[in-house]
Structure 1
């Protein structure tokens, strides 16, 4: 499938650089079925969803995974992507051509790492020195890994340490936020509970690969980066029971959706899951585990715009995004939301 089918023009001033406050005051474009759409707010969710619906959240927590350091006189930037073991991470490296296997990178504040091996895609294995947990080292020397489309427009600051975490964040390991859930507040969760909407959580540690552009002309030639996820048996059982009872399972975010679909068998039963997934969803995919998706607005020609096009139809999503641009919705990680109910 041609990648240019998923292209569109986005004015730069629609890229949100900060979230709105309160978070649930963000706008939300609701698409139902083949032709119904309406402009709402995230705070309206309790009046839109049905009693018995289940929202599935990702409880991953973003770590300060962006590091700036030196190897001799060379400046080296590293964005951790995926944990390999307790002390080693796969990382995307800026100025990586200045590295050789065995080089030590000094990230300051007594944080160093050895560049052990280079992957075919240009990323590196970094092995962190010392006995302190790597998460402690990152809290000391790292920065929040804001998406490039924000980081290119303003510096990361202390406010991002709270803005770029969801209410559900408790499992350290993500280097990008599951941004659909950034819109939820304690008050909204209480209103959803009063409505009879259930919530479940799973864990998918979002990697920096989520921001990589699709550089091929055909989707068949694109290779997804793997990310680690887990769904425990109790959560799987409750989700299967909900769907068996005719209740809708709605993923909050593409990360939740991709893990649910990775865990589902051909009959739509969700199995317990622990391990890597590199699922790539494009139009023609048959969804097995979910009945809807809440998600932000995505980049042109991105794997995530392909995913929402698979759920709702490419023409439908192109028209929806054109509407969002005309109505000046805010785009990307800190932007507005959409609720997609096929």
Structure 2
């Protein structure tokens, strides 16, 4: 009898211990405390203005890199994170997408944070601050880069978590009227710009500049509503603008901070540590894809423009100097718009490479 009571007592104790072990380790909020898998599935929407690589597979480093990120996360998380892409501005322009991300309506934004969200973002749009991709790879497309860290701080102040930044691209000038070599050649031209105060100030000083939605540019060139636009060679080819214009100049006036994967801070905080690592690794690998494709595609795009009858003009050092001098004449105005402290931080970071 005593033996039976003892065995019954041991069974009861075992059941109590087992129940406590099962119930005590799971917080039930998506993170079980040690970064493990609690079975929760995170379903995310990812929005961008860039083209769908399925419908536009050529000269589309942005679209390809975004899809790379999505595929890697979906695969490596083994279904614990499922990301659905929304390309081609179907959810809105960049500013709208960023606002949706801040409000929690969109989990992931891929693109360029605009200065109409925060004037300090304009520091990444300053003309002629980056001279080549070597600088960009050192300062921005690098988790230890000084300007990547600045970007993280600014994005954090605006409700997001900057997971990675890519090399993006440099923008030249395409038009329907004539060869453009110096700043003076811009006189009288109607130029489409994207909505950004820094961009508008730069072009308004040398041309008739006006914002226009990207979706309207082809028709605008065709109907002479605009004569040209500042744009990368790869984007000119991808959009087939060569069908309506025949002049491209490598003024490379602006390096754009256009390849960024930004996650809502709220959604980022929900992730257990192991999924954060998967997302981060995938984001940086996607940025490597963006750089490799953009680098390879740029030379191909130049050849494609020439093959389609576009005159591609390479500026001389003297001609390029007219653009740089003009840009530097606006530095004080830009600093007032952006904030002197932020501008100085960027200038110091670039100077440190010299």
User: TM-score normalized by structure 1?
Assistant: 0.28
Q: More strand per residue: 1 or 2?
A: 1
Q: More helix per residue: 1 or 2?
A: 2
User: TM-score normalized by structure 2?
Assistant: 0.28
